[in-house]
Amino acid sequence: MATVQSFVNNPYQENTYILYDETGECAIIDPGMYTRAEQDAVVSFIKENNLKPVLLLNTHCHIDHVLGNRFVFDQYGLKPRFHEGESETLAAVVAYAPAMGFRYDASPLPDTFLPETGTVTFGNTQLDLIFAPGHSPAHLCFYDKSANLLIGGDVLFRNSIGRTDLPGGNYSTLIRSIEEKLFILPDDCTVYPGHGPETTIGYEKQHNPYL
């Protein structure tokens, strides 16, 4: 059964997740580590728990979710995997990072892109891909059915939703993604979002003011 460890990183307070199971293999999802201390926290956790990173996944490619892609590659030799529709979003980061005051080491590119549907696996864990655009052009969420948890990126937050005013964002697309792709998951599914505290599908169905 997969276990989730989260780290809050960079000025955007982005949630970086490590998903690991009893085999010791783990996936690093949305590495946003920026400072040396943030990098060290993730490396220490991996060492202390004898984990072996085998997957680097990005839900989408905005700066706050990819700041640590190069670091993870240098550290563990993993290239990121994301949907091909996020390629332009990633390419844009190099241009806008300096204007926003960020030192950005360009992310490596995937050897293989992720499809809209299907699965990725590590250890004994299988993650279902859920294509949920709207915040970004080709955003993916990762659903672990056996642990009943969703690594949701910037789609659904506790009492909120992802912003849609960035390039490739679309409000009606985002609402449709949430209602048609996420709200069909079990009510007690725990959602681990890209920012802020975790929530559940059932809680957001009842309380989210945007839905």
Domain ranges of the chain: 3-207
- 3-207 falls under which CATH superfamily? Ribonuclease Z/Hydroxyacylglutathione hydrolase-like (3.60.15.10)
pLDDT score recorded for residue 43: 98
Mean pLDDT of the chain: 97
Phi, psi of 144 (to 5 degrees): -100, 105
Q: What percent of the chain has pLDDT over 90?
A: 100
The 10 Å Cβ neighbour count of residue 99 is 7
**Two tokens at 15?**
């949630």
Q: Using an 8 Å Cβ cutoff, are 57 and 80 in contact?
A: yes
pLDDT score recorded for residue 144: 98
pLDDT score recorded for residue 1: 92
The pLDDT-based confidence of 201 (bands split at 50, 70, 90) is: very high
Give per-residue pLDDT as tens, 164-200. 999 999 999 999 999 999 999 999 999 999 999 999 9
The pLDDT-based confidence of 205 (bands split at 50, 70, 90) is: very high
pLDDT score recorded for residue 102: 94
Element (H, E) at 177: helix 171-177
The 10 Å Cβ neighbour count of residue 72 is 24
pLDDT score recorded for residue 99: 92
Q: Using an 8 Å Cβ cutoff, are 174 and 168 in contact?
A: no
Question: With a threshold of 0.95, does the pTM exceed it?
Answer: yes
The pLDDT-based confidence of 58 (bands split at 50, 70, 90) is: very high
Q: What is the CA radius of gyration of the chain?
A: 16
